[in-house]
Amino acid sequence: MNGEGIGFGKAILFNEHFVVYGVPAIVSAIGKYTVAKAQSFEEPRLHLIDNRNATPRYKEDKKDQQKDSVRRIIEKMDLNFSDEGVEVELAGTLYAASGIGASAASCVAMARALSECFQLDLTDEEINQIAYEGEKGYHGTPSGIDNTASTFGGLIWFEKKEDPVMDRIDIMNPVEIVMGNTGKVADTTAAVAGVRNRKESQSDKYAEIFKRAENIAYLAKQAFIDEDLHEIGKLMNENHKLLQQIEVSSKELDFLVRLAKDYGAYGAKLTGGGLGGNMIALTPGRKLQDEVANAIEKEGFQTLKTSIGVKRQGGL
């Protein structure tokens, strides 16, 4: 009895937070992923070994949320360990940090590994549903964007609805990006709750910002179709300003965004829940990618050089 599965990390290119309220968003899987391996365990329970490399404090801070998430996954999959327990080990190339889909990737990988282990033969759609349930352990009321990117890979137009919209955006080749890690572990639940409170108390101001965010999503989709990377970068910059206005940026995120742009990134913004975590810079070509990453590293921050538009391939 054993099984193995992966879940991609992700980068939200447009409209994190706004997506929670049904505004369209664009997300991409990145070329790093979490691998889960499941095998039998002597005690009648799920025993988790988390061997992912992680930002300091990430695992400690997320421990309770992870427990809740695993419990939800087990419940959703209707597993019981009365006959035999299972040990799940998490590892892989994705660094566990805020903003890069670490929680979603672990839920997807775990659901896939358990599906194989218990010979459930689940479809990607079912895996996505289970991971969505697992995500609730980490962020209460997730929009579903992270688990969707983590399950299906590629570049995705996403709208949260009763029946969520997931449309693929096809691009010819993956595009290089740099992700810069502030090193701060952020609590997505708190970030989402903060936006909710401010949206209620400043409804006129927020209505305008949300309208522009929606606009940006459509313009960005067209820019992807036109393969206009400069326009995509410009729109990312504008999206970051909106995220600043809804108060989910931080001084470290703003610093890294500025730095990336100074070193030639086509555009840069925070990515994911904000208030720490990661930013993303659009850096087409290896040379620009290296230059921006080096500049960020020189300031003492960790980077991840990867690409957007990475599809799931045979073997993965």
Does 145 sit near ligand MEV (CB under 6 A)? yes
Q: Tell me the C-alpha to C-alpha distance, in Å, between residue 291 and each of 83, 126, 230, 265.
A: 55, 41, 18, 9
Structure-token pair, residue 194: 């903060």
- Tell the smallest beta-carbon distance from residue 254 to ligand MEV (Å): 17
Structure-token pair, residue 102: 């670490």
Residue 297: how many CA atoms within 13 Å on its side-chain side?
11
Contact region with ligand MEV (CB under 6 A), list: 59-67, 140-148, 176-184, 262-270 = 140-148
Does 270 sit near ligand MEV (CB under 6 A)? no
- The separation between the first and the last C-alpha atoms of the chain, rounded to the nearest angstrom, is 20
Contact region with ligand MEV (CB under 6 A), list: 12-20, 38-46, 171-179, 291-299 = 12-20
Q: Which residues contact 199 (CB under 8 A, 6 or more apart)?
A: 21, 206, 246
CA distance 9 to 135: 14
- Of the residues 7, 267, 272, 309, which one makes contact with ligand MEV according to CB under 6 A: 272
Residue 54: how many CA atoms within 13 Å on its side-chain side?
21
- Of the residues 192, 257, 295, 304, which one makes contact with ligand MEV according to CB under 6 A: 192
6: which strand partners?
Answer: 35
Structure-token pair, residue 305: 């050089």
Instruction: Spot the catalytic one: 146, 170, 204, 228.
Output: 146
- Tell the smallest beta-carbon distance from residue 12 to ligand MEV (Å): 6
Which of 295, 293, 296, 104 shows the shortest CA–CA distance to 307?
293
* Pick 17 or 221: Cβ nearer ligand MEV: 17
Mutual angle of helices 229-245 and 251-262, in 10-degree steps = 160
Which of 243, 266, 252 shows the shortest CA–CA distance to 296?
252
CA distance 242 to 99: 17
Does 143 sit near ligand MEV (CB under 6 A)? yes
Does 7 sit near ligand MEV (CB under 6 A)? no
- Tell the smallest beta-carbon distance from residue 196 to ligand MEV (Å): 11
CA distance 66 to 249: 25
Contact region with ligand MEV (CB under 6 A), list: 119-127, 138-146, 163-171, 230-238 = 138-146
Per the annotation, the verdict on 146 as an active-site residue is yes
Does 146 sit near ligand MEV (CB under 6 A)? yes
Contact region with ligand MEV (CB under 6 A), list: 119-127, 141-149, 179-187, 199-207 = 141-149
* Pick 143 or 181: Cβ nearer ligand MEV: 143
Number of residues engaging ligand MEV in binding (CB under 6 A): 14
Does 139 sit near ligand MEV (CB under 6 A)? yes
Does 62 sit near ligand MEV (CB under 6 A)? no
Q: Residue 295, class by beta-carbon neighbours within 10 Å (0-12 exposed, 13-18 middle, 19+ buried)?
A: buried
- Tell the smallest beta-carbon distance from residue 272 to ligand MEV (Å): 4
Which residues belong to the active site?
Answer: 146
Binding site for ligand MEV (CB under 6 A): 12, 16-17, 19-20, 139, 142-143, 145-146, 188, 192, 272-273
